[in-house]
Structure 1
Amino acid sequence: MQFVQSDIMTHRGSHFDLGVKTAQWMQQTPLLKNREKEWRKRMPRFDIHIKETYDIFQTYAPHIWEEIKGMQEVLNLPSNQMVLNFAHYRFTPLTNSGCTVYLGNDYMVRNYDYHPATYDGRYLLFQPTDGGLAQIGPTSRVTGRMDGMNEAGLVMGYNFMHRKKPGDGFVCYMIGRLILQYCKDVEDAIKLLKTIPHRSSFSYIVMDKALNHAIIEVSPRSIDVRYDNTCTNHFQLLTHENRNYTKESKARLDRLNQSTQHQLNKFDAFELFNNPDFDIYSKLFNSWSGTIHTSMYEPQQLAAWISLGENSKPTYFDFQQWLNGTSLDVSTFKGYIDTDLTFATY
């Protein structure tokens, strides 16, 4: 059992200044060195086009491009390296992951299942002064988000479906960031997902402050929306897009549905996801689908909870109070995961 820790960062200010602050944090970790080591082991299966990527960001996310420029100011890397590592837009010239989501009456709880070596180990509260919505949640590949909540009370998480037949487009963690950055409710999120280009096939799960919710099934070729409360790693509408092997995902969904036949309070739901005894939490880290964190969001309260690893007491964030100017009294949260594989920042 390995001890793990995530840093908590807060920033009120411009996207460029957030980029500067993020790059300074990166310089204190081996994250970039580990990322470059991964690229040497496996050549990227996509192309990088700087001008086309710049144009895409000016259309959909000009503020995030400013953040990348702030990072470049500190890291002093060439533009192709910045686009490769932080823009997360791919041009076409595998790995599996998990993730499970449950939407309660007034909360969303999810397990983020993937490989520890891809995990930033950074949790960010960001209140921009130059455009876009304030956000809270764990970062993914530095500029992206795998789940989170924004100041409007919109909550987002995503689940992997497959990477076959990829298209030119944004990858999942940048799409998660775009949803939190620019969407105020479920309707906004659906509209954005229908507009932007997608690299791979994912389900994006959203809930807003009015407690509307949706599961948006997306591939590079099509999109559909369902309004269920549970989601694992197979499409239920875009079934023609599913992988050949969905047995484990369907079995996990059956276990989740059995456990949630009656509405759970948020603490019981969190334990269901975080305690391996209930068979929702996964230890398949070597298969790129072990549970790294369990997170929960309450959109009406603007409250967030997160824990690393298994059977871990969640850390609580009152996002509304922070938005009002109250400082945090914590700088890290900790846990244990049952693997020797380490985070990208170790």
Structure 2
Amino acid sequence: MKLTFRAVEEKKPGQKLSAIFSEYRNAYLKWWASEGLSSRPTYSECRHALKTYMPELLEPYDMLCAAFGAGDLEARFLSFYCPPRYLAGCSQAIWQGSEPLMVRNYDYDLTAFDGVFLKTAWNGRQVMGTSDGLFGLLDGMNDAGLTVSLTFGGRREVGEGFGVPLILRYLLQTCSTIEEAKKVLLRVPCHMSYNVTVLDRKRQFFTAFLAPDRPTLITRAAVSTNHQERVEWKSHARLTATVERERYLLHRLTLHPETKELFVRAFLNPPLYSLAFDRGFGTLYTAAYHPHNLTAELLWPGLRWQKSFDQFDTDSVQVVYPRQIA
């Protein structure tokens, strides 16, 4: 199995993003309709939700819709409002050293992944991160050094709210500080349970446990895998080894002080690096964000891809994944 990761820079939505959207349009819309269109909100409802909770995103939303020639379905998809359910694996942690460093593994289905590391300057704010649906982000950083990443929270409940990748985009578009990010996460509804870790240039951080059926909880957790305060979905926990991965990371953070290189390298090996590609939970990439110097790295075993706001080459790398793991 192969995937080409592309680095794309486009200050405002235009031909580059439009071309990528055209490639993925059928897959995006098929996924959006996967639970039946009657269960998805109307365009009017989607736009009203954006205006209510994320008004600052209306301008880039409209620009994206215009650039993509979006009709009704495309515009509803791009809103990320009440999307179909989706489950991921993932691990993320804050290094305990002197510099701010967030490292994460993204474990998901290879066939449902953009493979785009995107740099934008919407509304005058520079943001770079791993794209989801070209509007949302799975992880990323802005020009203030604020860094965010997500993991699935390990719960079945679904409610009214936004897909968490758009919430990450909103954080990076509108927030410069930890306190601003907390306020956003406490008021913007998320349609499923997710864990969002936020880090700044001063190494201040928090992890928010988002859920559609209970208030957001702000914690000082430096480690996040695929449950929240406790395991609530036991079969998913066993499938993804969420408890084992959390214990492994906590052990490394508390008992074995190590260099940042060793810490990053740990994510490229089991138990953090998942080989469950045949079950849709293989590690698609490792990301390391360095807020102090506004740089990011995407890594795979034997391969390192570096990006920064000052030097963002629009190149690509090809990654080969195991075809099947028994």
TM-score, length-normalised on structure 2? 0.88
Q: Map of 1:20-169 to 2, 5 A cutoff?
A: 21-27=16-22, 29=23, 31-39=24-32, 42-43=35-36, 46-79=39-72, 81-90=73-82, 96-104=87-95, 105=97, 106-128=100-122, 130-131=123-124, 133-169=125-161
Displacement of 1:186 = 1.7
Question: 1:81-111: CA deviations, max 9, x gaps?
Answer: 123321101189x654210011013200000
Aligned partner of 2:262 in structure 1 is: 268
Deviates more, 1:31-40 or 1:117-126: 31-40
The 1:44–1:288 alpha-carbon spacing in structure 2 relative to 1, beyond 3 Å, is: farther
Q: Report if aligned partners of 1:136, 1:150 keep a CA contact under 8 Å in 2.
A: yes
Displacement of 1:269 = 1.8
Displacement of 1:41 = 5.6
Displacement of 1:20 = 5.2
Q: Report if aligned partners of 1:161, 1:243 keep a CA contact under 8 Å in 2.
A: no
The 1:225–1:284 alpha-carbon spacing in structure 2 relative to 1, beyond 3 Å, is: same
The Cα RMSD (Å) is 2.4
1: CA distance between counterparts of 2:313 and 2:156? 44
Deviates more, 1:66-75 or 1:176-185: 66-75
The 1:69–1:33 alpha-carbon spacing in structure 2 relative to 1, beyond 3 Å, is: same
2: CA distance between counterparts of 1:95 and 1:70? 26
Q: Report if aligned partners of 2:186, 2:216 keep a CA contact under 8 Å in 1.
A: yes
Aligned partner of 2:207 in structure 1 is: 215
Displacement of 1:168 = 0.8
Question: 1:237-272: CA deviations, max 9, x gaps?
Answer: xx4x83234342111212222333323322212211
Residue 308 (structure 2) pairs with residue 318 (structure 1): yes
Displacement of 1:316 = 1.2
Aligned partner of 1:175 in structure 2 is: 167
Q: In structure 2, give the amino acid aligned to 1:218.
A: L
Residue 318 (structure 2) pairs with residue 334 (structure 1): yes
The 1:72–1:256 alpha-carbon spacing in structure 2 relative to 1, beyond 3 Å, is: same
Q: Report if aligned partners of 1:204, 1:216 keep a CA contact under 8 Å in 2.
A: yes
Give percent identity, aligned residues only.
Answer: 23
Residue 185 (structure 2) pairs with residue 201 (structure 1): no
Question: 1:287-318: CA deviations, max 9, x gaps?
Answer: 332111100101111111112xx413221122
Question: 1:192-218: CA deviations, max 9, x gaps?
Answer: 000111211111011111110111111
Q: Report if aligned partners of 1:88, 1:171 keep a CA contact under 8 Å in 2.
A: yes
Q: In structure 1, give the amino acid aligned to 2:252.
A: S
Aligned length: 316
Q: Report if aligned partners of 1:169, 1:197 keep a CA contact under 8 Å in 2.
A: yes
Structure 2: any 5+ residue segments left out of the alignment? none
Q: Report if aligned partners of 2:92, 2:225 keep a CA contact under 8 Å in 1.
A: yes
2: CA distance between counterparts of 1:89 and 1:244? 28
TM-score, length-normalised on structure 1? 0.83
Aligned partner of 1:7 in structure 2 is: 6
Per the alignment, in what secondary structure is the counterpart of residue 175 of structure 1? helix
Q: Report if aligned partners of 2:120, 2:128 keep a CA contact under 8 Å in 1.
A: yes
Q: Report if aligned partners of 1:96, 1:287 keep a CA contact under 8 Å in 2.
A: no
Q: Report if aligned partners of 1:152, 1:184 keep a CA contact under 8 Å in 2.
A: yes
Residue 301 (structure 2) pairs with residue 302 (structure 1): no
Per the alignment, in what secondary structure is the counterpart of residue 98 of structure 1? coil
Q: Report if aligned partners of 1:115, 1:288 keep a CA contact under 8 Å in 2.
A: yes
Per the alignment, in what secondary structure is the counterpart of residue 13 of structure 2? helix
Q: In structure 2, give the amino acid aligned to 1:5.
A: T
Q: In structure 1, give the amino acid aligned to 2:76.
A: L
